[in-house]
Structure 1
Amino acid sequence: MTCSSLSFEWPDGTPVFDGLDLTVGPGRTGLIGLNGCGKSTLLKLIAGELRPLDGRTAVTGTVGYLPQGIALDSTAAALRVDQVLGIADTRAALHAIEAGEATEANFAAVGDDWDVEERAHAALDRLGLGRIGLDRTVGDLSGGESVLLRMAALLLARPDVLLLDEPTNNLDLRARRRLYSAVDSWSGVMVVVSHDRELLERVDQIAELREGEVRWYGGNFTAYEQFVAAEQTAAERMVRVAEADVQRQKRELAESHMKSARRQRYGKKMEENGRVPPIVAGNRKRSAQESAGKHRTLHTERLAEARERLDQAVEAVRDDDAIRIELPATAVPTGRRVLTLSKLELAHAGGVRAVPGELDLRGPERIALVGRNGSGKTTLLRTIAGLLEPVAGEAVTHVPARFLPQRLDLLDDGLSVVDNVAQFAPEATNNRIRARLAHFLFRGARAEQPVGTLSGGERFRATLAALLLADPAPQLLMLDEPTNNLDLASVGQLTDALESYEGALVVASHDVPFLESIGITRWLLLDGGLRPTTAEDVRASLWDA
């Protein structure tokens, strides 16, 4: 698969690629990069979903493409499973032949694909969908099942090149496990865009899209991190060496100016005292000026070269800034009651779902809320946040609480980042808000950007800043699938922010590595109730194929 001198821009003139060259060979490639760098756009160009402004893409063989955020409209929801799998016509012809309609058209429709149903069932079963049946309507499936169904269609079609764009978004742990297995067994060319570390550990190579260019790293994501860390250590060392060289060249240039000035003062004094004839003094003066000029030129050139080396060294250092904040007002004393759940019954999926048992959250605990899609995690968090009324029982928060939903719809798109945060902290001065926003990487003009113009990662940071800087400061923070649609740098920034947070956390997520990175103190499985579990049990039981 190749891209040659590929250029693309959006209708408003925003450039994405300018002369991109890329060649992808056999194996599984993880395509990573910051939000907004063009990863999804590149896959769409390769898949033929978009047309390049210039250049070309070429693929040897057939292409299968799984886009990000598959949505079911009313038409798609009415399709049968066999139609989505692309085998409906073949299957109908096969059944007709079995019923005695041995026509030439039916034999042509079947071709050599006499085992199509067996292969379809095998593909579905491989992804945990064996129970759904080929005649079932797609609208009856969950969002995660619809993603897996489209993955099954691709596996059944056996394309030469498989393009996957964030395939594990919104999949629960069990569904992710099925998809991981499919990726592990893929033997053709695969390019997968993902922020899912577990998935990226399964690739053969990493391609990082950065500033319109692709750089290759052999091995999985861990190998990539190790290489980049070593590379950055060397780059930072080169910056220090280059900075020292610039300072040395500045000193030498200053010393050259001082020596020249001393010689000029000495020559002038000798001439004034009559110790040197005027013609000799003039010759010496001209000679000194020429020598001083050469020295100044030499040292100026050396300084310019040193500054250029410094600029090059600085460019080699990545600017993926980390969030560094202090939030003492969010601190919760050990033992202080934060949240109480008692005999809850929740309105969920058109019915009532009980959450039996008691939950007493005290102090700065960090709770991971895990469970399959549809188990009620979002409903429970929205009920605790006061956005939904329980059918029975109670959910009582004893400290100021804030909720970060999956959709990130808390901010006003028409207002700037500063003005949005001001709405959450009306007593804070503009200068104080700006100073605090700088720690969330919104400095200067960036803080004035309308929220509607922000990238996904920037919008997440702005929303997180608004919640954490709110008045009163939240001592209980609830997050619903916070890493969905975040690039790896943004996930790192979120982890940095939560390291500074001193209150209690309740996080619903399928991203086990992320949960482990934020210091979870208690794991709860929502499965007909709230049951204590562990990270090891989550991996062993929920991921069991």
Structure 2
Amino acid sequence: MLILQNLSYIHPNKDVLFDKLNVTFNRQQKIALIGNNGIGKSTLLKIMAGTLAPATGLVKTEHTPYYIPQLFGQFNDYSIAQALCIEDKLNALKAIENGEVSEANLNALDDDWTIEERCQEALTHWNLEDLDLTQSMGNLSGGQKTKVFLAGISIHQPEIILLDEPSNHLDTQGRRILYDFIQTTNSTLVVVSHDRKLLNLLDAVYELSKRGITVYGGNYDFYAEQKRIESAALDQDIQSKEKALRKAKEVARETLERQQKLDARGRKKQEKAGMPTIVMKTLKNNAEKSSARIKDIHAEKTGGITQELTELRKALPDIDKMKFGFDASALHKGKILIDAKNINFGYGQKMLWAEPLNVLLASGERVAIRGLNGSGKTTLIKIILGEIEPLVGSIQRAATKAVYIDQDYSLIDNRLSVYEQAQKFNTSALQEHDIKIRLSRFLFGKDDWDKSGSALSGGEKMRLMLCCLTIGNQAPDLIILDEPTNNLDIQNIEILTAAINDYQGTLLVISHDAYFLEQVGVVQGIDLR
């Protein structure tokens, strides 16, 4: 069991990240911890792991959690054995086998005589049998580093496991092994992930927000359905409040008009009756005060409703605030964009693909490029874009407008401000206020317009890129996405998904996120071996 009591964390600049969290994770429970980027999910995992101290509160547990971080750069100077905290045991075992049966070595080994065998079995299970435990972590790929720490689970056999984006750098095969582990393990799991296929394997969703942690007693699909119900109720509340505001304004107008008519009739009667001027002025002042009071009463009422409506609209999901409006591609559906016959590429004498590729891509299609890490997916993209030519075979490319979107959103120039970046795509000569309206639609308010591209998060870069594409005079004929969901939270993945579904052109995707591929309607695939 893992218990969080009155847990708070405050940034060095005194900003409160979360405050007085009280949560219990029961034995063998499998929990998804989700929330928007920057809300504090990774920070909370670090506190639970004991690598970061909270501002207030306690973490209670009988077992030391095994923690797999999202980033591994801090381990680059470590060997694999050092990163997994098993170097002392392995050295002690080796020394004992060489006859150095000292008390220090026996204490270091701690009766773990199978440590070496478990290491080899674990590395083999994760397809890392070619690695040596003395190798440097800095020489490994992102996927290999993730697998090393996942292999550490079998080595250490922990009761509690904390995983921060464990599928981020894994290929399809690696994800399959991870999913199988999650389904079969008896350990307590707390998982931060945007991989919705993975999230559907977990028992419950704990959503971290500014309000604290809200528990949803089911997997991600159950959570998403509950959020849809909440969103529909919110929409209904907004519509009801908008109707009430219109009615209140109408009543205020009618009441004021009625009062003004009564005042006008009263003045005419007073003039006919020949009342003294001083009396007329007094009655006029009284009438004006009465009208002012009526105005104030109704202004207070409409103001209250307006404030309530503003608060309700703030609660809307960001995706519901955005407007995509992509222009259609100029190409007719079915036009052949790429016709590659028997192509291959290589370095030196060795060809990249075991068999030459044949690729036929028509306008309007949605196609995935599939293959393990190192199978040449990015190379194929470069060939399709004309950045490199195949060493063998032939390729014909139609004159198309193609946009390549990688996982770092390199289309965004970090040297430019948000507004300057949008202006760079302004091929249709939109006025300044029109560009700023478009930016506002993509959640970039006036405080963001001068913000540098280098200061944007992955989700912000993605939203700015989508905004820039809508500012362009015409949508691209071909959009190529290279692992587009890797650095996004669930909210921003949903924004990207909605935008891609609004796009009518051709889509080519490299992604190991099966859920995303399904959501954007990718049904065909190019398999690389």
Q: What is the rounded CA distance, in whole Å, between the counterparts of 2:424 and 2:297 in structure 1?
A: 58
Matched residue, 1:382? 382
AA at the equivalent of 2:235: E
Q: What is the rounded CA distance, in whole Å, between the counterparts of 2:294 and 2:242 in structure 1?
A: 22
| CA spacing shift, 1:156–1:313, aligned 2, 3 Å | same
Tell whether 2:331 aligns with 1:332: yes
AA at the equivalent of 2:42: S
| CA spacing shift, 1:69–1:378, aligned 2, 3 Å | farther
Matched residue, 1:149? 148
Identity of aligned residues (%): 33
* Alpha-carbon distance, 1:384 to partner: 2.4
Matched residue, 1:86? 85
| Higher deviation after alignment, 435-444 or 325-334 | 435-444
| CA spacing shift, 1:39–1:358, aligned 2, 3 Å | same
Tell whether 2:198 aligns with 1:195: no
Written as runs of structure 1 = structure 2, the 5 A alignment for 1:38-117 is: 38-52=40-54, 54-60=55-61, 61-71=63-73, 75-76=77-78, 79=79, 81-117=80-116
Matched residue, 1:368? 368
AA at the equivalent of 1:106: N
Matched residue, 1:408? 409
| Higher deviation after alignment, 225-234 or 498-507 | 498-507
Conserved 8 A contact 2:146-2:169: no
Q: Please state whether the residue corresponding to 2:67 is helix, strand or coil.
A: strand
Conserved 8 A contact 1:400-1:472: no
1:165-192: CA deviations, max 9, x gaps?
1111120111011112222334444322
Matched residue, 2:226? 227
| CA spacing shift, 1:266–1:359, aligned 2, 3 Å | closer
Q: What is the rounded CA distance, in whole Å, between the counterparts of 2:85 and 2:348 in structure 1?
A: 31
Q: What is the rounded CA distance, in whole Å, between the counterparts of 1:521 and 1:87 in structure 2?
A: 45
Matched residue, 2:513? 511
Matched residue, 1:543? none
Matched residue, 1:205? 204
Q: Aligned to 2:504, which of 502, 505, 524?
A: 502
Matched residue, 1:137? 135
1:131-164: CA deviations, max 9, x gaps?
3466563557543122111122244334454322
Matched residue, 2:168? 169
Conserved 8 A contact 2:17-2:39: no
| CA spacing shift, 1:298–1:440, aligned 2, 3 Å | closer
| CA spacing shift, 1:329–1:314, aligned 2, 3 Å | closer
Q: Please state whether the residue corresponding to 1:494 is helix, strand or coil.
A: helix
* Alpha-carbon distance, 1:457 to partner: 0.7
Conserved 8 A contact 2:365-2:507: yes
Matched residue, 2:249? 250
1:496-518: CA deviations, max 9, x gaps?
22223232221111111111211
* Alpha-carbon distance, 1:358 to partner: 2.2
Matched residue, 2:421? 420
Q: Please state whether the residue corresponding to 1:202 is helix, strand or coil.
A: coil
| CA spacing shift, 1:366–1:473, aligned 2, 3 Å | same
* Alpha-carbon distance, 1:525 to partner: 1.0
1:59-100: CA deviations, max 9, x gaps?
423132211132386633xx2x44443333323433444455
* Alpha-carbon distance, 1:275 to partner: 9.8
Specify every segment of 5 or more residues in structure 2 that has no aligned partner in the other structure, as ranges.
Answer: none
Q: What is the rounded CA distance, in whole Å, between the counterparts of 2:32 and 2:95 in structure 1?
A: 44
AA at the equivalent of 2:135: T
Root mean square deviation, CA, Å: 3.7
Written as runs of structure 1 = structure 2, the 5 A alignment for 1:267-286 is: 267-274=266-273
Q: Please state whether the residue corresponding to 1:203 is helix, strand or coil.
A: coil
Q: What is the rounded CA distance, in whole Å, between the counterparts of 1:207 and 1:309 in structure 2?
A: 28
Conserved 8 A contact 2:367-2:524: yes
Matched residue, 1:533? none
Q: What is the rounded CA distance, in whole Å, between the counterparts of 2:118 and 2:303 in structure 1?
A: 68
Q: What is the rounded CA distance, in whole Å, between the counterparts of 1:469 and 1:266 in structure 2?
A: 57
| CA spacing shift, 1:205–1:403, aligned 2, 3 Å | same
Tell whether 2:10 aligns with 1:8: yes
Conserved 8 A contact 2:203-2:218: yes
| Higher deviation after alignment, 37-46 or 360-369 | 37-46
Tell whether 2:27 aligns with 1:21: no
Aligned residue pairs, count = 520
Matched residue, 1:537? none
Conserved 8 A contact 1:332-1:502: no
Written as runs of structure 1 = structure 2, the 5 A alignment for 1:464-479 is: 464-466=466-468, 474-479=476-481
Conserved 8 A contact 2:370-2:527: yes
Conserved 8 A contact 2:18-2:210: no
Q: What is the rounded CA distance, in whole Å, between the counterparts of 1:83 and 1:107 in structure 2?
A: 19
1:501-543: CA deviations, max 9, x gaps?
232221111111111211224212111xxxxxxxxxxxxxxxx
| CA spacing shift, 1:70–1:390, aligned 2, 3 Å | farther
Q: What is the rounded CA distance, in whole Å, between the counterparts of 1:439 and 1:312 in structure 2?
A: 18
Q: Please state whether the residue corresponding to 1:330 is helix, strand or coil.
A: coil
AA at the equivalent of 2:465: T
Matched residue, 1:530? none
| CA spacing shift, 1:274–1:425, aligned 2, 3 Å | closer
Conserved 8 A contact 2:33-2:193: yes
Q: Please state whether the residue corresponding to 1:75 is helix, strand or coil.
A: coil
1:276-311: CA deviations, max 9, x gaps?
999999999999899878766655554444344434
Conserved 8 A contact 1:31-1:191: yes
Q: What is the rounded CA distance, in whole Å, between the counterparts of 2:75 and 2:313 in structure 1?
A: 49
* Alpha-carbon distance, 1:193 to partner: 1.4
Conserved 8 A contact 1:324-1:500: no
AA at the equivalent of 1:150: F
Please, what TM-score do these two structures have when normalized by structure 1?
Answer: 0.82
Conserved 8 A contact 2:405-2:482: yes
Q: Please state whether the residue corresponding to 2:37 is helix, strand or coil.
A: coil
Conserved 8 A contact 1:96-1:102: yes
Q: What is the rounded CA distance, in whole Å, between the counterparts of 1:300 and 1:439 in structure 2?
A: 29
Q: What is the rounded CA distance, in whole Å, between the counterparts of 1:479 and 1:271 in structure 2?
A: 79
Specify every segment of 5 or more residues in structure 1 that has no aligned partner in the other structure, as ranges.
Answer: 528-545
Conserved 8 A contact 2:368-2:509: yes
